[in-house]
Structures are given as structure tokens and as C-alpha cells.
Amino acid sequence: MTDMADLPVQRPEAPRSAAAARARFFNFGNAFNIKLPPVPPSGFPEVLAAAGAPEASTGFYACDQSAALGCPFPATTPLMLARYARIRAGEALTIELSATGLIIHALRGCGDTADVAWSAGDIFLLPGGSPTRLKATEDTLLWIVTDEPLPALEGARPAPSLLAPVHYPAAEIERQLAILGTTTQNDATSGMAVIFSSEGLEEARNITPLLTLSLNTLPPHGTQRAHRHNSAAITLVLQGEVCHSAIAGRRVPWQPGTTLVTPPGDPHSHHNRGAVQARFLIVQDGGLHYHARTMGFAFLE
């Protein structure tokens, strides 16, 4: 007798319509053993090098590892896509991304959209789903993270987002960091970080319904103790000397401006062996996990 788990996918015997012919049937033995490729703990130094090269043209430079993920659409993690955008001085880049929102950090340069005038160090959120024109007045390098893989997975193109633009100027971010510097932490606090939200998502404490954004810091010779969570994380290294992450036993060195991936569920910690404060911007698909009650955050030491 055939084991239930060994049955192939079953098709209808005598479908009477095209809709009935599309039906497929599995069972408890073969429906829950799907093995997807793991999320690689990748860095993308070659993408940063290409986007930041003096001769680089205005355009996108994606941190795409869809081949390793087995995704038929661009993705950095299963639900997020990170990219750099290079905009040469005096040029503009019109973007129309199938995403709920665009989280953008200005690594260098300055410019404006219809709603935000940005400078180096600023962070801003723009709604997705409709054309946005970014014009640079100085040579500009932006870092952008979206939830584009989610609508791509669903086979849908989202309507123009209901999110309103939000601007977090560098000077205000510094003020928020200074406020944290006057406080203490307890054993339940995972680190010294600014969490970004908006008027419309204040209760959820997310930057979009799906994504969370934090600016994490580590003092000189400091360590963020080992922990894990079910959300994937995409990290932009902003500042630090002799810093690294330990991810599932692997040592991942930091270089300012590079993009790193922490796979979902992997134990990890962050280490600053240098003499200056380390800073790193982290986007997670945490909004989804908070809503589903599946974040699963836990300290491991």
C-alpha cells in the first residue's frame, strides 16, 4: 500500500469546466514538507561599488538574491527588496514601484521630490504604487527598501498607497539619539535604538504596515547580546570601525554603506571592537510578524 506522503499531486478525474480542471489535491503527508531554499546571510559590496563608482549612471542597483531564494521576482529576503539609487547632479530618476511604501536613506547628496527636500543623513518615507520623481541637486546615493516581493508573490499590483510622505531630517534624528543618551536600559531592552514611525502608524509603531525601521547603535567596545526573531532583517551599515555581526556562527564584517542580511530565525549578535560609536539602520518585515503574533523575539544569553 502506498504511503500517503508518497502520493503525487492529484488532479480531478473528469472535470466539467476549465475552473474544475485547475483543481489540485494534496494530503497531510505531502502538503507540509515543502523545503524552500534558506535565506543567505549575504552582503552586497559589489552592488555598492557599482552604484557608488564615479562613472555610475543614474538608475537602480538592486541587492537581488532571488536566484538563491528560488523566487521568480527580485528579492533580497522573501518579503523585502533593497536597492541603491544613484542620481547624478542635475539629473532626475522617476520611480514607480509596486510597493506599499519606500523607505529611503540618503547616504550622500541632496535633492527633492514633490514632498521632501532631502540632504545626506536624512531618512524619508514615500508612498508606493504611483510615479515619484527624485531630482538631485548634488551627486546622490540613496538606499531604498520596499515590500515589493509581497505583492509579487500574490500576483497583484497594489493601488496607489494610502501612506503619506514622512521626513526624518538628520538633525532631528541626532536629537532623538541624544534623548536616548540621557536614559538607562533594563535587562529586557535589546539595545539603544531609535524606532521610526508616523502619525498614521503611531499605535503600531511601524514605518509601514509591513515594515519596521530602527537606527541601532553600539558604544565603543560594545556588544548587542545574542538574540533571534522570526522576521528577516536588512541592515545598512552607517558608521563603525572594527565591527561585525555573528550570524548562526558565521562572522560577518561590516563596511560602511554596505547592505547585510540576517536570515529569519538565525541567532545573531553585533559587536563593536572600535573606538567610535557604531550605527546601523535595520529594516525588518516586523510589522507582518507583530500583526500575526509570530515575532518570536528571544535573548539567547
Going by C-alpha positions, the residue among 107, 48, 106, 99 that lies closest to residue 259 is 48
pLDDT for residue 185:
76
pLDDT for residue 284:
97
pLDDT for residue 184:
77
Going by C-alpha positions, the residue among 102, 213, 239, 121 that lies closest to residue 169 is 121
User: pLDDT 10s per residue in the chain (301 long)?
Assistant: 888 888 999 999 999 999 999 999 999 988 887 889 999 988 899 999 999 999 999 999 999 999 999 999 999 999 999 999 999 999 999 999 999 999 999 999 999 998 899 999 999 999 998 899 999 999 999 999 999 999 898 886 666 677 899 999 999 999 999 998 888 777 767 678 999 999 989 999 999 999 999 999 999 999 998 999 999 999 999 999 999 999 999 999 999 999 999 999 999 999 999 999 999 999 999 999 999 999 999 988 7
Asked whether the beta carbons of 77 and 107 are under 8 A apart, the reply is: no
CA dist 134 and 113 (Å) reads 5
Going by C-alpha positions, the residue among 75, 82, 98, 100 that lies closest to residue 201 is 100
Asked whether the beta carbons of 289 and 230 are under 8 A apart, the reply is: yes
pLDDT for residue 160:
65
pLDDT for residue 158:
62
Query: Tell me: domain 45-299, CATH 2.60.120.10, correct?
Result: yes
pTM assigned to the model: 0.93
Going by C-alpha positions, the residue among 81, 76, 84 that lies closest to residue 47 is 84
Q: Where are the domains of the chain?
A: 45-299
